[in-house]
Structure 1
Amino acid sequence: MSNSKSFIGLDEVQSKQLVDKLNVLLATYQLFYINSRGFHWNIKGEKFFELHLKFEELYTDFQIKIDEVAERILTLGHQPLHSYTDYLAISKVKESKNVADGRKAVEEVLGSFKEVIMLQRELLSMSAEANDEGTNALMSDYIREQEKLVWMYSSFLGR
């Protein structure tokens, strides 16, 4: 470990490692966001009204989280990625195309949450080791919220 500390008192090497992983989370959120928008726009069928609203809630929440993650990267003294080329290259969530079936969309949401939560748990561990309470608190809050959403979406599928 280096002895060099950032302006907020964190080890600069550990902060850079966190930033690299936070940029993966940022990219993953961006793809999850755009997929949720597509589900919202294209959903059809019996559960249209319910799912249309739920997908809007998802992408609205992602707008906030995307901004928070980017601002955390800046707080740690680095630059957030901001091109879709970068996002597509490193996101843990892949693009969805033209999904109109509600069950398929919910299955994709659940798969995406699994990737996001695993990534956030990794960040939680890294931030604890770096004594980075700011990132740690953010990840802890996100995980708690998203675990509840996983339960709700799983219940929708009868699981």
Structure 2
Amino acid sequence: MKTLNFTGLNSELTLNVVNALAQLLADFQIHYTNLRNLHWNVRGHGFFIMHEKYEELYDDAAAKIDEIAERILQLDGTPESRFSAYLKVAKVQELDVPETGCNAVEYVLDTLKTLIAQEREVLRLAADAGDEVTVALMSDYLKEQEKTVWMLVAFNSPKCAK
């Protein structure tokens, strides 16, 4: 029995959404691991602030990973669960230990730029499929992430602009 039989969504149209969500899932998994790296290896000025912020960000990423995987299942897809498979398709790359705190925040900003672009594409595909649930999910992500971008830019700009 398929979930889509009960929700009234078109399986051909939702397949595009599932594929875009699968890409987003892979990128969020790599981003989550990178955020753990930043949390563990943060040093210097701003340590207390950024150590806590990275934890907040990876907790948020973990929640989004679960939501994305569950949404794939709700659309009759199967979420990937192997990290080796994520590494093959992810646009977000594994992060070495950053040299400075400024580089770390720039990494987060660059990754959020990638994720936001992907979420906008998922939103577009979901709207085309009449999938209001995925549209709402992506809209919520965008709202949160745009605020995070604004805050990280404000935090990073004055001391890293030199």
Alignment TM class, shorter chain as reference? over 0.9
**What is the DSSP-based 3-state SS (H/G/I as helix, E as strand, rest coil) of the residue aligned with 2:108?**
helix
Instruction: Describe the shift of the 1:108–1:96 C-alpha distance in structure 2 as closer, same or farther (beyond 3 A).
Output: same
TM-score (norm 2): 0.92
Name the counterpart of 1:127.
126
1:53-97 CA deviation, whole Å, 9 max, x = no partner? 000000000111000000000000110011111111121211101
Superposition deviation, residue 158 in structure 1: 1.5
**What is the DSSP-based 3-state SS (H/G/I as helix, E as strand, rest coil) of the residue aligned with 1:45?**
coil
Residues 4-153 of structure 1: pairs in structure 2 closer than 5 A: 6-99=5-98, 101-153=100-152
Q: Which has the higher helix share?
A: 2
Comparing 57-66 and 90-99, the one that deviates more: 90-99
- Please provide the CA RMSD for this pair: 1.1
Instruction: Report % sequence identity.
Output: 46
Unaligned runs of 5+ in 2: none
> Number of residues paired by the alignment?
155
Superposition deviation, residue 6 in structure 1: 3.8
Distance 1:86 1:8 in 2: 30
On the 8 A contact 1:33/1:62 being kept in 2, the answer is yes
Superposition deviation, residue 100 in structure 1: 5.0
Name the counterpart of 2:153.
154
Distance 1:95 1:7 in 2: 39
TM-score (norm 1): 0.94
1:135 counterpart letter in structure 2: T
